[in-house]
Each structure stands twice: as C-alpha cells, then as structure tokens.
Structure 1
C-alpha cells in the first residue's frame, strides 16, 4: 500500500470527475484500495460532500481566487474547494484543514501554489465566508443550472424538498432473501449482533438500517441471507407479480438486484436476465451465485432483440430502462455533474426505441413493467403516454387511483418514505 496524500488524491479524483467526466463509482474503489481502512470512509465523505455542495464552493472560490487556474494546475482549484468543504461542513480542525490541504500541493506537483492555497483558506476563515451565502436559490440547491430549471418547471412546490433529499446521505436498505432465511430469523441474528433497524411499514422483505456499516460484516452475508436494495427498487417484484411457471425477462438487468428479487418473490419461474454490458453482467452472475438463484444470463442490446432473442415470447417483462438516474443522486452525487441537459432528449429517444422493440417480445395478455430511477417526466409519464397513444395493443394497468393515460404510472420522489426517486408504469398487451 503506497504512502500518499489523502487530500491530493481527493483533489485529483474531483478533477477526473468534474473536468474529465469520469464516474466516481469507477474511481472510488481503486482510490480507497490505496489507503488505510480508517481513511477510506473519510475519502468518500469528502468527495461526496464536495460534489453535493459544489455550486456553493465554486461561489466562494470565485470570491477568493482572482483568476482561474490553467491546465495541469486546475486540480489545485479542486484542492481549495476541498479545503473550504472541510472548514465549512466537516469536523476536521481548522489547523489540520489548512496545513494538510496546503501540504497536498507538493503531491500534486504544484509546490509553487502553496502560498495561494494558504491565502485562500486563511481568507476564508478570516472573512468568515461560510456565513456568506448567495441569494441565488440554484446555488443553494446544490444542483446544476439545467437540472434546477427542469425541477422548477415540473415540481415547483416540491423543489426545496427534492433538492434537500438529493443532498442527504442515503440510508441502507436491505432485502431479506426469504429463499434462504425467514425475515424473523434474520432480524433475530441482527438483534444478536446488536445491529438496529426499522421494519414497520416497509415492503415485505425490506429492512432499513439505522446507521451506515460495511455490509460484508453483517450476519449471513456470505450465506446470501440478504442483498442491499433501496425500498423503491424493491417495489418492482410485487408490481410485476410473476406467477409460477412463467417465463420472465428482466431487460437491462445489471447488476441483478431486481432479477434476484423476482426469483425470491416466485422461485418457480424461468427468468432471463439481459444486459448489454458484459462487465456489469458479471455482477449479475455474482449476485445470483451469492444469493443461490438461477437465471439465464444473456448479453444483448434491448433495442435490437433480433440479435439475441430466441423467438419465444415472455409472460412478463421488467424493463428497467437506461435513464438519467436523477432519482439516485443522493447515492451518486457525481451524476449531477456527469449528466448534461442535452442528454435527456437522447435518453428519451433511446427509451422509446427500447420500449417498442421489447414490446414485441411480450405475449398477448402479458404484462410489462416499465421502470426508471429518474424523476424527469420526459423519461417517465410523458414516455408512457406517447407509447399508449401509438401502440394500439397496449393498455395501462393502474398502480393507484390517479394512474391514468394523461398522467400514467407511479412517480416516487427522492426521500419519499426514505426511498430513492423512482418511476413505474404497468402495461398489459391486449
């Protein structure tokens, strides 16, 4: 394990996300593997924190930095914002926040900028800048301008609640694998291990841990007693309601959480898990193996089924369509900065193409459950309304009383009942 600067590595990672468009989901595990166990949680907290508060940190940076830094020095801007975050939002002492952040310039190969970083951080403290908040609601929301405008357009009354939920730490939801252990027996094991949880009023197999922890250390991890899955995602199996002996397709299945849940909801089904990403399909295989389930795993493009489909129609299809992931920003704050406004129209077009292609794979009388982890109507209700208007053999199967063709489906907003943002619409082929 190499000796390295925590803050320099954090600044470098922020640079890769914000300037090079790389995903924190890919960068963070590799980064954490290079540091001691006690530093791994700190790294995640700092990176997530900066990405959540980025507009405000940039607002403060513009007041203290006369002109932007160029090219290979750009990472130092991210280092300064990391310093601001420590001073304004963390329990790191002022002395450590300043000294360690300034010292990280050496590791970033910018020793000549130590004075600049020191001046910015000391001026931040001297001017008590953390009390200097802008009037601009978009900056305070922690959201990029394009997303703030969209949410203001679609959810004017809930905007403050949504942005607050997006900037909070997501709780840990578990799904008990009832093919391996009963929920009562599993909770008894958690009680023995002095692990606290909530279970009242949650989906049938769900538990909500009251504090964060390493899931691999929970009772029964190796034995496949449970999986981590948000409460919103846990709605899919019951809404699709597979029946004994049916052929089910989970389209765009990776990493396999819903595939496994379908097999727990009704073990006696023939399930095909399909995805276009071979690397993520490996995760599906690993999850099936750990939880003790069997499914046919297929690598293929949902928009072009003729390349992989065997011609036999399915009784039920779960289509978890590629989307903006705006509903899971609290879990992946880099999504805010990796997504661009122009992506939404392209995603909606892809979803439409997949929906029409997959519909042909469904038996007459069969059920398709359309799902996204988005909260944008273009990807959700508007998508389903358009499909119902042009697909003569499709009809809506309502999920609640107000579910109709003009406003179809069930939109869960981030933080609602402690769940991620999610969307479902159920369709029947006549």
Structure 2
C-alpha cells in the first residue's frame, strides 16, 4: 500500500477547524454571553448548560452505534449534520425571543444547545472514527491515526483561535451593529463548515468500514467486548477526570478574565495566546509520543498543566503578564490533551470491532465532564459571585484549584498503567 500523501491528511483534518469553531463558543463564550450580555441569571444559565449537556451526553453511544451500522455511504450523514449545526450556531448567537423574558430565553438556549450538541456529536464521532481507521501504509499501525490526529487537531486549534478572537472583537463593537455582525459571523461559519465537509468527502483518505464483516455485531456483543477490553477500561476513568479538569476552566475562563483579573479588554488576546500555544505544542507532543510513547507523553502534558493552573489560582486584579504566561504554559499542555487521548483509543481498537461505538462511549465521558462543569456556575452563585462584579478568591480556586485536583487524580491513575493488551507504551 502506498503511503498517504500530506494533502490527503490535510483534506481530512480541515473539518476540525469548523468543529472547533462551534465547540469553543458553546463551551466557553455562550455562558458568559447569555449571563453577561443577555442578562440571564448566572445560576439559571448553569443549570440550562448542565441539563442540555446531560441530554447530549447519553446520546453519544447510540450515535456511535448508528454510525457503525452505516452502509459505507456516509455523505448524507455528514451533510445533514452540518446543516443542523450551522442553523443551531446562528440560533445561539441570535435568539429570536425577548431577552427580558427569562423563561423564553432559557428555553431557547436549551433548545439551541441540544441541537448544536447533537449535530456536533453526529459529525465528531463519525469524524474521529474515520481518522481511527486510516491506514498510513507503513509498518507501524499508529502512524495513520497519529497523522490524522495531528492535522485534525492542528486545524481545530486554528478554529479555536478564530473563534476566540472574532467574537471577542464583535462584542467590543457598538451594540447597534451587534446583530448584523453576529449574522455575518454565523454565515461565514456555515460556509467554512460546508466547504470542509465537501473537501473531506472528495479528497480525504476513503472511509474504511470495519474489516470483520459487512454486518455490525449486536449492541450487546459490542458492549460485552468493550467491558472485556482491559486497556479500554483502564483509560476511561483517567480520561474522564482529565476531561473535567479541562472543562471547568473552559466554562469559567471569561468570568475569571473579566472579574478576577478585571481585564475584559484582553479576553481575546488571552484566549488566542492559549490556543496558539496549543498549536505550537501539538506537533511537539506528537513527536514526543513517537519517541517515548503516547501514554508517557500525555502524562508529561498533565504535569505542565498542573504547574500552570497552580500559578493561575494565585492571580488577582491586574496580573496580566502573569496570566499570559499561564495561558502559554496551559496551552502547550492542551496540545497533549487534544492529540494523544484519541490516539490511545485508536491503538486499543481492534480492526474487527466497532470503532464508532468505542468513540461513542469515549465522547460520552467528555460530554459528561462538560455537563458537570456547568454546575460550577450555580456553585459560584451560591458563593455570592455575580458576573460584572469584582471576584474574590472563590472564583480563582474553582477556576484553577479544583481542576488541578482532578488533573492530579488522572495523572496518578495513568502512572498505574504500565502496559496494556494493545501495547500502549508507558
């Protein structure tokens, strides 16, 4: 088999850009937008996020199972999911309901979140499954997934840089032009998303079906296989704890910047520096994984993240330079969290199994972590924090201290993994 050309990997990876553009506002900017700009109560915003994310969480294994049963032609799946995501993205930014009516606004937010989450999951699970099945045509069966992950996450980081800078800039413009500006931004997102789907379907390495048979095994058989897979089970809890450690700061980042650091003018620059650092670190983590093993490289990434967020917990008003340093260090560590866990899972999946079902369970845990992170908002409301007012130490420790605890627990669990049946290096 001939080795896959870089242009084919790039064609696969391009879809990571709009998927990341959609994910960042939903997870980072929408909570602050609805509670700060549109006036929805902080506690209510958190509960809507939690419940909408909870609905999304438990549909992922079903979507993964559905994808495993697709009969080769996945074009309709990608086009339909992309259309729904584009419409939900527009609806999130431009709610056609009175912002003074709390009930209508919260219901609209819940509906658009569920639509965006569902469409994003439909695209993302199929997309990850596609990458896990890529065969690089080399002696090492991990080079295909590693190459796919590098291009996918690299494009994704570019997407989050765009999504961190542009909305922050739009929010700083006159209120009278905000509706027009957000409409243009949403339409540009839709165009990028549909172009990426077209490029994926036309020029990426072909979608590979499971080799075992034309018929996917029953759900019961697939579940039993996953339960019996020791390596898969070993990774689930540390992956979940690590996902929580990433989700909480993502949910609270803008609140921390605006009210703890009191530096809202720097919000776009902070987010951009974080994701640019992740983009720089991504190829470094991939190279490290090839030399010392994927599992070991991921553990070193966790150490760097812990050091960064321990520093963030001590910051206060005006600590702008110090927070830029935190963003750069945490961003470098983010590259490991983005690229390496999916590769670990891809290494564990056997060719005769149902990979989308594994990714469905995998993304379920990530979504559950995001759902739980939404509860940080009502918790802060209970601690008397309100958006727009100077924040005390409670926000700093929930934003940075709590994630460090989860990251330490995940690191400790990963240190207990030496080898596994798939040969994941420690």
What's the TM-score once normalised by structure 2's chain length? 0.27
Q: Indicate the structure whose relative CO is greater, using CA pairs within 8 Å and at least 6 residues apart.
A: 2
Larger radius of gyration: 1
Query: Greater helix percent: which structure?
Result: 2
